Structure 1
Amino acid sequence: MKNWIRLPNSEGNCIPAKDGSSGQKLYQREVGRSGFRGPSAQIYHRHPPAGWVTFEGPLRPRAFTLGKLSAGPACPLQARRVLFNDEMELRYWKTETKMHALARNADGDMLLFVHEGEGALFCDYGHLPFRDGDYILLPRGTSWRIEPHGTCEFMMIEATGDAFGLPDPNTVPGGVSVDPMRFTLPQIDDAFRAQQDDAFWEIHIKRRGAISTLTYPYNPLDAAGWEGDLCVVKLNWRDLAQRSASGQNVPPAAHCTFVAKSLSVSTFVPKVGEGKSGMLRVPFYHSNEDVDEFVFYHRGEFFSRGEIKAGMATFHPSGFPHGPHPCSYQEKMIEVPIETEEVAVMIDSMSFLNVDETIPAGAEWKAYVKTWEKAEETL
């Protein structure tokens, strides 16, 4: 852990007031290092930090509707790539077809997030049913396939050359980490044994981005048993959601769920209102100077994001302030229910991320960068 230079201090007027009660509107922006796990500062501006008039260049914020991407291919390791760098890949895969070959990623651990659908996953360790909202962690080198029950959509996150683990509670706000007892493991059950046969089966192996194929005269998912402390595991966002009770602190809106060397995966879960009023506070602008931020919106109405709907994703590179859209500050939006139903997956990458520019133009919301332009007149 870096020995940051920390000099706690306060200067000038540090009371944000959006209703003009202090005689001057101030807009709060948090500047943070190391994914806000390092030192941070709250700066109070006279004008909205995201109230730009124009935005030019490759740093611009991006938004995508991943559900518009075409279905397929048959091999999930070749699914549509969305973001990438030397230490991670993010792909999006839509399928309604039973896999007739196995997949094995030799480039790193694979984390699947099930956005839509349900079905069964078969792997070296057995049979694992899945549903929407599940994370499925596939350790590097695991052979697997799925049998969807209808159309399924998956977000696939690869920790290239690395492995996913759990966050250190000492680095998580509130010291809350994932309880390993909440994970579900595959089982060698009747369904797993029933899929074993003596037909020819292929394993498609991805290594350094290239696919190699092994062919067997039988199904390689033929385990009779296993033991040890390495396994495929499953966790649903519903297992992270918490409810407040009288006398308890409000649970966090975002749980850091999985970490690798240069990235973290967090889950935004339904959040109760804050304070005695039970109202949800509009989040402030922020500048996260050490990470690129990608958010996939899984379900619900997104309080701070206006026209962003479930199935969409936003990408905010580090280097510019961003935050709630102006509509979040309108009176009708402040009177929100005491509990939200927002569920999202956030990826913070310490290494610069690249957008795969082969994404079809119809899947990107080109005007997203303009959604903050009238910030000052709206707030």
Structure 2
Amino acid sequence: MPHYRRVGKIPSKRHTTFRSPDGSLYAEELMGVEGFSADSALLYHRHLPTAIVDAVAVEDFRLPLAPNHPLKPRHLRTQAMEWAGGLDAVTGRRSLMGNADVHISFVVASAPSPLYRNAVGDELFYVQGGSAVVETVHGALPVAEGDYVVIPTSTTYRVVPEGDLRLYVVEATGHIGPPKRYLSSRGQFLEHSPYCERDLRAPDEPLVVDGEDVDVLVRHRAGLTRYTCANHPFDVVGWDGCLYPWAFHIGDFEPITGRVHQPPPVHQTFEGPNFVVCSFVPRKVDYHPESIPVPYNHANVDSDELMFYVGGNYEARKGSGIGIGSLSLHPAGFTHGPQPGAAEASIGAEHFDETAVMVDTFRPLDLADPASTCEDPRYAWSWARRGPDWD
């Protein structure tokens, strides 16, 4: 993260004597990325964070993926998926798509999740509906509809929903953060960035929990392991540094507009290993007197485009059957664009009321079985309005 935070009790100097009221030393834990050559946080535990008493391999809740073959644009309807009650935001996730760089899933959760630690990469949540508290080793972070939440690699956390929580989950095999072009060489957001430090939220006080023989589910490159920790991981009395979970509301993204249609990079919000995330928000649209505000037909020759529609009316997709909760996949090798009539209908528009989260990947996205259960089979033919499954 681009700025320093200090939470709870810490000593004045790193790696020096820091004692609890009973005289014992607090145990330091340095969380750092890139071999401790980049961002880090220094946490002070009441007990040894290294103390585990058991480790057991457990079955993975992720599902196998298969290529998008034959190559087609896809429309998935998360709003049509059926969900059992009592699911949690970790083990209840349903895999939708993924590749070697990123895994994308969705869940409707109502129960607290187990303690979880993803040691493979950062996680990015988008809260489509509901609210929750994300409890972490750094403290608690309340989140609600419209929030993005970034969970750094190997952060121990759990999600406690407040009612039903609709959560879109992007799991990386590396780190997720603001695009480098938005940041100075020292990590400050620059003036041209569409959001800045004032828009971010992070834990502001420790979350100290007692407990013994506490289970933590850990994702690693070989699968899932359940540790039993001698003490509860949430025993941190203070921490400081630049590596921590944080939240950012999509409504605080300030759109960049122009006289004619602007390309998708102006909407970029995050970058990850071989993928980017963009936010399309309500905005003033192109103001050239002859502009066509909806996107032109385009071929993403290096990437698959996955759009999650979360609010308003997406002008370019009118007539396609897409609604709130839909996901559209437009793969590399397919030329896509506005639905028939959308370009003409958009001429003269001054404002678009639409909210969407886009993930562009630079390797093809494969599909999981749940994707087929909520797919609209007519979507691929919606530009021609004829073809298989078309009435």
* Matches for 1:100-249 after TM superposition, within 5 Å: 101-160=114-173, 162-169=174-181, 176=193, 178-188=195-205, 192-193=207-208, 196-198=209-211, 200-208=213-221, 210-216=223-229, 218-242=231-255
Counterpart position of 1:346: 358
Distance 1:144 1:370 in 2: 43
Matched-pair contact (CA < 8 Å) for 1:264–1:347:
yes
Normalising by structure 2, we get a TM-score of 0.71
Distance 2:219 2:159 in 1: 17
State the 1:261 CA deviation.
Answer: 2.6
C-alpha distance after superposition, 1:239-267 (max 9, x if no partner):
103598xxx98996852111123111111
Return the match for 2:275 from 258, 263, 282.
Answer: 263
Residues 227 and 170 of structure 1: is their aligned pair in 2 closer, same or farther, counting only changes over 3 Å?
A: closer
State the 1:327 CA deviation.
Answer: 3.8
Counterpart position of 2:337: 323
Residues 313 and 202 of structure 1: is their aligned pair in 2 closer, same or farther, counting only changes over 3 Å?
A: same
Distance 2:342 2:279 in 1: 21
Residues 273 and 280 of structure 1: is their aligned pair in 2 closer, same or farther, counting only changes over 3 Å?
A: farther
Q: Which moved more, 1:67-76 or 1:254-263?
A: 67-76
Aligned alpha-carbon RMSD (Å): 2.9
SS in 2 for 1:81: strand
C-alpha distance after superposition, 1:325-363 (max 9, x if no partner):
0141454x6565x3222111111111121111x116441
SS in 2 for 1:166: coil
Distance 1:106 1:141 in 2: 5
Distance 1:209 1:295 in 2: 30
Query: Structure 1: which amino acid aligns with 2:159?
Result: I
Distance 1:117 1:279 in 2: 38
Distance 2:138 2:107 in 1: 23
Distance 2:79 2:217 in 1: 25
Distance 1:289 1:206 in 2: 33
Counterpart position of 2:102: 88
Segments of structure 2 that go 5 or more residues without pairing to the other structure are 1-67, 184-190, 387-391
Matched-pair contact (CA < 8 Å) for 2:126–2:167:
yes
Counterpart position of 2:27: none
Counterpart position of 1:371: 382
Segments of structure 1 that go 5 or more residues without pairing to the other structure are 1-55
Query: Structure 1: which amino acid aligns with 2:117?
Result: R
Distance 1:117 1:235 in 2: 16
SS in 2 for 1:224: strand
State the 1:228 CA deviation.
Answer: 1.1
Counterpart position of 1:288: 300
Distance 2:198 2:156 in 1: 24
Distance 1:77 1:349 in 2: 24
Distance 1:75 1:235 in 2: 19
Matched-pair contact (CA < 8 Å) for 1:77–1:206:
no
Distance 1:330 1:274 in 2: 14
SS in 2 for 1:226: strand
C-alpha distance after superposition, 1:273-327 (max 9, x if no partner):
3216698722210111111111111111111102211100000111121010014
C-alpha distance after superposition, 1:115-135 (max 9, x if no partner):
111121110110111011111
Distance 1:327 1:262 in 2: 34
Distance 1:125 1:256 in 2: 27
Higher strand share: 2
Query: Structure 2: which amino acid aligns with 1:371?
Result: S
Distance 2:217 2:310 in 1: 29
Distance 1:233 1:250 in 2: 34
Normalising by structure 1, we get a TM-score of 0.73
Counterpart position of 2:90: 76
Query: Structure 2: which amino acid aligns with 1:287?
Result: A
Distance 1:153 1:185 in 2: 21
Residues 91 and 243 of structure 1: is their aligned pair in 2 closer, same or farther, counting only changes over 3 Å?
A: closer
C-alpha distance after superposition, 1:107-150 (max 9, x if no partner):
11111111111121110110111011111100000011121111
How many residues align? The count is 306
Residues 236 and 320 of structure 1: is their aligned pair in 2 closer, same or farther, counting only changes over 3 Å?
A: same
Counterpart position of 2:17: none
Residues 280 and 145 of structure 1: is their aligned pair in 2 closer, same or farther, counting only changes over 3 Å?
A: farther
State the 1:209 CA deviation.
Answer: 5.8
Distance 2:149 2:324 in 1: 20
